[in-house]
């Protein structure tokens, strides 16, 4: 088991604005999986980062009257402080303006595509949506505007390098059908297979270097400094550049191909069509699985600033704490569907599952243990229940959390049924046995909580193993 490896990635985030709860979701989901595999003793590498070579970011910076690269650093440092507060255990944060870590790998990959004869120059005339950082067509528009962003697309007429994506329709289909590239859930797999059925078109893979872009933004196309790579081309490359694809060093050799790449349903096409095509063209193995999650909605509507239903993860973190936010995202959102979050639902779950549920259970058992057991009781670690490990193997983190809360309920019932607080008075030995059994069960729950609520898990372990008082874990909110 010790030499088994696990490599997991999140999408890299656009640094044009602060991250919202949807971004926090992707990252927390990935973190839970990373922590689970570490707990299983696997050699784990967890990558996240920021997608910086974008027009969107330049426009956001200018709006605030800031130099793009200064603005960029400010926003990206907010990303890392949010991830710190969410207790995200990433091993590396890749920035695509990093000329040492990212550019050589991205340029090497471009070179491989060119060597395969898959890059050609062509005049392009068409529409570009800055919100999507993608080319769109007339038929995508509603009243002349992009329906997702409500903005009028730019009209472009320029010379670009194109990537022969069309050549890879059949090879990608074959990899998906054979299971070599697993796409989870099934509904997303069907969606991409339907798209492949229609056939893929070649994509523009570069843009002329913009006069208003500062030096240091945009990865230069090898051999043609007048062009920079199209942002999705360099962004997707991050998953291998970060491992040192440029020199194919130890990190790359150990961890690529990724075991799972986590992404939202909005960027399925990029990850299940363009990315595999690039890899096949370059002779690089494909990731083993894509985990495609839904959108976070609030009150049934997609979280958006215009609707005014955005929930700021910082606010929730300040009010409820890290582990409570992680808990809610893990248990109350299905990784395979859209999931709704309202402040009301959050508070109800907090009170029922954490304050009255887990918090109360820990307090009850630890009080009994403190009053009646000798110091240093140390239960043997138990095996994980297979419903828990099976769920996590299938990325069903919400179901794995259900298994834990099922145990919490049972253990609560066990205290009531066996009444150790009474037994201890009439038969101290038997009473102690009952309490010891409770602490052993609680220890098991604490271990299962490790990937979900790392701090709470540690507090429970310290309470049982080292008799450290757990304190009041979750205070009820009125
Ligand atoms: O797409 N609910 O970046 P991004 C759930 N830079 N997840 C959401 C969400 C929501 N409402 N909104 C965003 C990009 N996400 C590119 C990726 S990867 C090579 C480049 C999640 O900042 C979702 O997983 O717009 C989405 O894919 C990710 O955040 C990145 O969003």
Give me the DSSP letters along 81-113: HHHHHTT---SEEEETT-TTTTHHHHHHHHHHH
Q: Is the CB of 11 under 6 A from ligand 1?
A: yes
pLDDT of residue 212: 87
Q: What are the tokens at 22?
A: 């949807």
Closest atom of ligand 1 to 302 CA is 11
Phi, psi of 2 (to 5 degrees): -60, -30
CA of 264 to the centre of ligand 1 (A): 6
Domain ranges (residues) in the chain: 5-294, 342-466
Cβ atoms of residues 414 and 441 within 8 Å: yes
pLDDT of residue 400: 98
pLDDT in tens, the chain (478 residues): 447 999 999 999 999 999 999 999 999 999 999 999 999 999 999 999 999 999 999 999 999 999 999 999 999 999 999 999 999 999 999 999 999 999 999 999 999 999 999 999 998 888 988 888 888 888 889 999 998 888 899 998 888 999 999 999 999 999 999 999 999 999 999 999 999 999 999 999 999 998 889 999 999 999 999 999 999 999 999 999 999 999 999 999 999 999 999 999 999 999 999 999 999 999 999 999 999 999 999 888 877 666 777 889 999 999 999 999 999 999 999 999 999 999 999 999 999 999 999 999 999 999 999 999 885 556 666 689 999 999 999 999 999 999 999 999 999 999 999 999 999 999 999 999 999 999 999 999 999 999 999 999 999 999 998 888 888 899 999 8
Q: State the pTM of this model.
A: 0.95
36: nearest Cα among 12, 80, 4: 4
Q: CA 17 to CA 242: how far, in whole Å?
A: 23
CA of 13 to the centre of ligand 1 (A): 6
Cβ atoms of residues 298 and 309 within 8 Å: yes
pLDDT of residue 124: 84
CA-based Rg of the chain, rounded to a whole angstrom?
A: 25
Question: What superfamily does domain 5-294 belong to in CATH?
Answer: HUPs (3.40.50.620)
CA of 25 to the centre of ligand 1 (A): 10
pLDDT of residue 306: 65
pLDDT of residue 349: 97
Topology classification of domain 342-466: Isoleucyl-tRNA Synthetase; Domain 1 (1.10.730)
Burial of 34 (0-12, 13-18, 19+ CB in 10 A): buried
Burial of 425 (0-12, 13-18, 19+ CB in 10 A): exposed
Residue nearest atom 14 in ligand 1 by C-alpha distance: 13
- 24 contact partners, CB below 8 Å, separation of at least 6: 82, 86, 313, 325, 329
- If one counts every other C-beta atom within 10 angstroms of the C-beta of residue 132, the result is 18
120: nearest Cα among 270, 284, 281: 281
CA distances from 214 to 57, 58, 376 (A): 12, 9, 61
Q: Is the CB of 132 under 6 A from ligand 1?
A: no
User: The tokens 């099934």 sit on which residue?
Assistant: 186
Q: Is the CB of 267 under 6 A from ligand 1?
A: yes
Q: Cα torsion at 386, 391, 393, 398 (round to 10°)?
A: -140
Ligand 1: residue of 13, 72, 93, 236 to mutate (most ligand atoms within 8 A of CB) is: 13
CA of 337 to the centre of ligand 1 (A): 15
Phi, psi of 94 (to 5 degrees): -95, 135
Residue nearest atom 30 in ligand 1 by C-alpha distance: 13
Q: Is the CB of 264 under 6 A from ligand 1?
A: yes
The dihedral built from the CA positions of residue 298, 301, 303 and 305, taken in this order, carries a sign that is negative
Looking at 268-393, which runs of residues are DSSP E strands? 289-293, 296-298, 301-302, 339-340
CA of 377 to the centre of ligand 1 (A): 46
pLDDT of residue 305: 64
Alpha-helical segments (H) within 332-359: 343-349
CA of 429 to the centre of ligand 1 (A): 57
Ligand 1: residue of 8, 17, 21, 22 to mutate (most ligand atoms within 8 A of CB) is: 22
- 82 contact partners, CB below 8 Å, separation of at least 6: 18, 19, 24, 313, 314
CA of 23 to the centre of ligand 1 (A): 6
């Amino acid at each position: 088991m010790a030499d088994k490896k696990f490599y997991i990635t999140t999408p890299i985030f656009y640094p044009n604005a602060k991250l919202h709860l949807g971004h926090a979701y992707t990252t927390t989901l990935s973190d839970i999986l990373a922590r689970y595999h570490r707990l299983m003793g696997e050699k784990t590498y967890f990558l996240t980062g920021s997608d910086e070579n974008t027009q969107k970011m330049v426009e956001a910076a200018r709006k605030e009257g800031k130099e793009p690269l200064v603005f960029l650093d400010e926003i990206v440092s907010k990303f890392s402080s949010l991830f710190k507060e969410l207790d995200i255990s990433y091993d590396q944060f890749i920035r695509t303006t990093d000329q040492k870590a990212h550019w050589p790998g991205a340029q090497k990959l471009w070179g491989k595509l060119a060597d395969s004869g898959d890059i050609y120059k062509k005049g392009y005339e068409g529409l570009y949506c800055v919100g999507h950082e993608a080319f769109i067509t007339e038929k995508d528009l509603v009243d002349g505007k992009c329906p997702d962003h409500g903005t009028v697309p730019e009209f472009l007429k320029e010379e670009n390098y194109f990537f022969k994506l069309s050549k890879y329709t059949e090879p990608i289909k074959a990899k998906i059908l054979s299971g070599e590239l697993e796409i989870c859930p099934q509904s997303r797999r069907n969606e991409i297979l339907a798209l492949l059925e229609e056939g893929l078109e070649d994509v523009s893979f570069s843009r002329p270097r913009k006069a208003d872009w500062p030096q240091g933004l945009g990865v230069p196309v090898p051999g043609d400094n007048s062009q920079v790579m199209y942002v999705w081309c360099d962004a997707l490359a991050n998953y291998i550049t970060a491992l040192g694809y440029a020199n194919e060093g130890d990190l790359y050799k150990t961890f690529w191909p990724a075991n799972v790449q986590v992404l939202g349903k909005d960027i399925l096409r990029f990850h299940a069509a363009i990315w595999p095509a690039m890899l096949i063209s370059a002779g690089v193995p494909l990731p083993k699985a894509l985990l495609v999650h839904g959108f976070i909605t609030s009150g049934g509507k997609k979280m958006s600033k215009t609707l005014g239903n955005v929930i700021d993860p910082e606010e929730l973190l300040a009010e409820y704490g890290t582990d409570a936010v992680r808990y809610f995202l893990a248990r109350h959102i299905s990784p395979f569907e859209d999931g709704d979050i309202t402040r009301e639902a959050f508070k109800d779950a907090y009170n029922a599952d954490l304050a009255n549920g887990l918090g109360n259970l820990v307090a009850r058992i630890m009080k009994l243990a403190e009053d009646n057991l000798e110091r240093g009781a140390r239960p043997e670690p138990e095996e994980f229940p297979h419903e828990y490990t099976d769920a996590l193997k299938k990325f069903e983190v919400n179901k794995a959390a259900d298994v834990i809360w099922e145990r919490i309920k049972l253990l609560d019932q066990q205290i009531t049924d066996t009444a150790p607080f009474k037994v201890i008075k009439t038969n101290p030995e038997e009473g102690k046995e009952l309490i010891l059994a409770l602490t052993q069960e609680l220890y098991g729950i604490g271990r299962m909580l490790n990937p979900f609520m790392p701090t709470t898990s540690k507090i429970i372990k310290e309470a049982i193993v080292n008799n450290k008082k757990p304190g009041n874990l979750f205070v009820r909110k009125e």
